[in-house]
Structure 1
Amino acid sequence: MTPVRHAAALLCASLAIATSFAHAGQAPGAAASADIPVSHRDRLYAAEQFSNTVSVTDPVDNKLLGVIRLGDPSPGNFSPLYKGQVLVHGMGFSPDHRTLAVVSIGSNSVTFIDTATNAVKHTTYVGRSPHEAFFTPDGKEVWVTVRGENYVSVIDAATFEEKTRIVTPAGPGMQIFSPDGKYGYVCSSFNPETVVIDTATKQIVGRVKQDSPFCPNIAATPDGRQVWFTLKDVGRTMVFDAKPPFAVIKSFDTGPITNHVNFAATKKGTFAYVTVGGLNQVKVFRTDDFSQVATIPVGKLPHGIWPSGDGSRIYVGLENADALAVIDTATNKVVGEVPIGQAPQAIAYVPNAVPEGDGLQGLQPLGVAGQAAHLTLVAVQGDKAGAPTSVTLFDQGLTQVLQASATGLEPKSPYVLALAEQPDGGGALQPLANFMTNPAGSAIVNAIGPIRQIVQSNAEASRRYLVIAPQVAGLPGKPVQVQGL
């Protein structure tokens, strides 16, 4: 074989090896980017709302390595002298995979973390109740949706200082960028309108009507053709053209408490994975004809979702199970689960996050962040059937934060979560939290107190039982859901 032919053969062989896993780039990257096989250098991060931690997982063996503690649980974070973060919630990462941006809603902050060392580089404080943050594809800016106000805060990624603000409809929920970096897509959590922003001029160049006001999450396909966003209040998902005139392509029901959406590019095509919290499922759709190809039971209240660097896995944060579910995209089956901190929200898979070393610096054990009790409320016999309500009691010392993922109720109706004297809901009711269901008949309900000690007490005289009852003339009516035994 001549040297030229030998070199050509080697080139062909190397290309064959490279393309054996390079189906297409994974979100948020471009389709032209090579896939990155799963390795011990990769990290899976989750922002955990009630333990105020970021969990760090090795995806090869689905092993929790530890947590980055950004703040204390309640009631320690109630102090006027408290300086940590509160309600750790949103998450994004830099294009070079070296920096994690973590949003804390309660302390109005974005914490920048070095992925190799787990050290906090800087904390930038922005406006009221920021929700999500993501880097522009060129890595020069970080856009933060300030959901409690009406703008996107644009932060210089080198100095971590705010450089400008982009005014949007009130309540911007999340932003994501087109893979080429030309557009920023910003949905709203308070107004039925998504806006498209030219990243160079910072001007709004397009508007997309949302079917409802409450969008928590938005994602762009790696091929740069589509943008998908979820509508949590009505349980729908919408798709629009990623390029002008940004026309709506599809709008369809996905289920109560539709949370996040993301993509996996595989040999069989590109698929959208949608977390449906009220059904404890992930639904899978083709991006070419929008047909549903799978329904995957994953666990209680699935929330954030992200693909591995090669699209072989999809990872799901289970908000009411304090865990990550691992989905094999070839079979669309759950193949693993990882215990993590309390109430995971956004998650992010960062390939090659730790280029050298073990990446264990600064990590702490799970500790109290892994302690929670799990309950279920079921429909009373003869009342409206529906998916059960999951309840988690997140330990915060002697007290717990209660979170109920309530479903199977009447739409747009007032209810009360209460303690009953009897297992069937009989006797006097002690209200814990009043709430209004959304148009899908669901709601996320929170309360705080020593509730676990009451609902799991061994002393029958003092034990009480969680129930959901409609409000009638401002008072609790007959319970329609009761605590499962």
Structure 2
Amino acid sequence: MKRSLLTAGLLASTILACSSAWAGQAPAAASPDIAVSHRDRVYAAEQFSNTVSVTDPVDNRLLGVIRLGDPQPVNFSPLYRGQVLVHGMGFSPDHKTLAIVSIGSNSVTFIDTATNAVKHTTYVGRSPHEAFFTPDGKEVWVTVRGEDYVSVLNASSFEEKTRIRTPNGPGMQIFSPDGKYGYICSSFNPETDVVTVADHQIVARVKQESPFCPNIAATADGKQVWFTLKDIGKTQVFDAQPPFNLIKTLNTGPITNHVNFAVNGNGSFAYVTVGGLNVVKVFRTDNFEQVATIPVGNLPHGVWPSGDGTRVYVGLENADALAAIDTLTNKVIANIPIGQAPQAITYVPNAVPEGAGTDNLQPLGVAGQAAHLTLAAAGKAAEQAPTSVSLFDQGLIQVLQASVTGLEPKKPYMLALSPSPEGHGELQALANFMTNPAGSAIVNAAGQIRQIVQSEVKDERRYLVIAENAAGKPGKIVQVQGH
């Protein structure tokens, strides 16, 4: 009897191990899992330092950065040749090539993962957002968000071969694991298009609950597609196969950024970054039950699983860091300093088949320098602050980025400098903005702001505040800088 029980137990363990080993991680079809090794790399596209950071996941150590451009104000020159606003990222099915999108310079830079060297740069239309290779590795689709098409590049020559016309503002594309369909969400129109890869024809349209989708992902089993809606704080799920019916809408929270999947011994899970809450929310993909809320740090953005699903990496946009999450415990196990304002990230298994893989990398340098502040309604504790602010050093000046939450929806506000901590006195406006339907916004400004808000000279010190915007003039103070 004991032998029978033992045999049954061993058989069950073997079956579980086999099913886990063949679970497969997105975006590939179900295939053998690839254990974390020194051959793997985690890449992050960093918007304000114009770098791509390269991290070894075994010891969660930054190896260096690939510098694609310079900080401000060098990149304002009409003779500047580098990249600006490094933002989107994809990789080839053979794991040998990265495709990096720079929004400000309208480019896709192709990088060799083994040597970190730039192989080619292709310039496309206005404000591209994301790029990804088709599963057969023959094409690269680039969403040209500032226009109305997807630029289809030949993955060998890197030249544009055709365009897929879409509603204005295509946000991102991802593919079904079998390579039959491409799914293109929109950042300006409430429509996700389903396109046949073979002939580039739109065969279905899926209604988005709002116009602003920044990110879309497909499960490795080919059954579901998830996309995020940043403006209303929701995530939607539809059937990856015809007739592409909507399955579920989840309320995820303000500044819902990216979504991706991890398959492990506990099942299949979606990880959603919620920038306005500084958390990652975890949902089962079978019944959509939320199983975890993971605090990770300021403004989580990109997210990607390891090759075996045991970890998920998250880029922290307002913390200049990568957070590594153990997917079996849903706990943060490491924070890795990287470049400024990470956007898209990818985990590429076996990116470096041999050698150290550190050629052409540079130290982090100024890209690792930033100051961090919080804003909150008067009388609230710092840990309850709804707004995080980062001041990214660009030499003598900084780029300010505020992840604003906790305000009234669809209302005009002003980020300003005040001579007093309470917001009294004459305000100097830095940026006017309108909140989205979730009462949040991402606000940017540039200047010598750190020197003012952190000055030790009392008469020179200024404080960041948010005020209501009354016809271009500051009104009621709603948030003040934490002490």
- TM-score, shorter chain, exceeding 0.5: yes
- Equivalent position to 1:142, from 131, 140, 143: 140
Report the counterpart of residue 29 of structure 1 in structure 2.
Answer: 28
**Residues 171-186 of structure 1 aligned to structure 2 (within 5 Å):** 171-186=169-184
Of the three residues 378, 401, 404, the one matched with 1:403 is 401
Partner in structure 2 of residue 131 of structure 1 = 129
Q: How does 1:223-234 map to 2 (within 5 A)?
A: 223-234=221-232
Q: Structure 2: which 5+ residue stretches go unaligned?
A: 1-10
Q: Distance in 1 between matches of 2:287 and 2:467?
A: 42
Partner of 1:161: 159
Q: Could you tell me whether the CA contact under 8 Å between 1:278 and 1:387 is conserved in 2?
A: no
Q: Deviation at 1:401?
A: 0.1
Change in Cα spacing, 1:197 to 1:347, as seen in structure 2 (3 Å) is same
Question: What per-residue deviation string (whole Å, max 9, x for no partner) do you get for residues 445-467 of structure 1?
Answer: 00000000000000000100000
Cα separation, 1, equivalents of 2:167 and 2:118: 32
Structure 2 counterpart SS, 1:453? helix
Q: Residues 5-20 of structure 1 correspond to what in structure 2 (within 5 A)?
A: 19=18
Checking the alignment, whether the CA contact within 8 Å between 1:386 and 1:408 is kept in structure 2 is no
1:21 and 1:37 in contact (8 A); partners too: no
Which one is further off, 373-382 or 355-364?
373-382
Q: Which residue of 2 aligns with 1:113?
A: 111
Please give the secondary structure, in 2, of the residue aligned with 1:278: coil
What residue is the counterpart of 1:5 in the other structure?
none
Q: Report the RMSD for the aligned CA atoms in angstroms.
A: 1.6
1:186-231 deviations in whole A, cap 9, x for unaligned? 0000000000000001000010000000000000011100000000
> C-alpha separation between the residues in 2 aligned to 1:83 and 1:177?
32
Q: Percent identity?
A: 79
1:18–1:39 distance in 2 versus 1, CA, 3 Å: farther
Name the aligned partner's letter for residue 26 of structure 2: A
Aligned to 2:469: 471
Q: Does the 8 Å CA contact 1:327/1:336 hold for their aligned counterparts?
A: yes
In structure 1, the residue corresponding to 2:257 is in which secondary structure? strand
Equivalent residue of 1:480, what SS? Answer: strand
Q: Which amino acid aligns with 2:128?
A: P
| 3-state SS of paired residue (2:21) | coil
Unmatched 5+ residue regions in structure 1?
1-11
Question: CA deviation digits over 1:5-42, x for unaligned, max 9?
Answer: xxxxxxx9xx98983861510000112x1100000000
Superposed, which structure 2 residues align to 1:353-392 within 5 Å?
353-381=351-379, 388-392=386-390
- 1:388 Cα deviation (Å)? 1.7
Of 232, 245, 248, which residue of structure 1 is paired with 2:246? Answer: 248
TM-score by length of 2: 0.96
Q: Which amino acid aligns with 2:249?
A: S
In 1, the alpha carbon distance for the partners of 2:302 and 2:235 equals 15
CA distance in 2, matches of 1:203, 1:313: 36
**Residue in 2 that maps onto 1:4:** none
AA at the equivalent of 1:367: G
Amino acid paired to 2:294: I
Q: Secondary structure at the match of 1:326?
A: strand
Partner SS state of residue 367, structure 2:
helix
Change (3 A) 1:244 1:447: same
Tell me which amino acid in the other structure corresponds to 2:23: A
Match in the other structure for 2:350:
352
Taking the aligned partners of 2:113 and 2:198, their CA distance within structure 1 comes to 28
1:424 partnered with 2:422: yes
Question: Any residues of structure 2 matched to 1:54-453 within 5 Å, and which?
Answer: 54-381=52-379, 388-453=386-451
Give the distance between the partners of 1:20 and 1:291, measured in 2 at CA.
22
Conserved 8 A contact 1:386-1:407: no
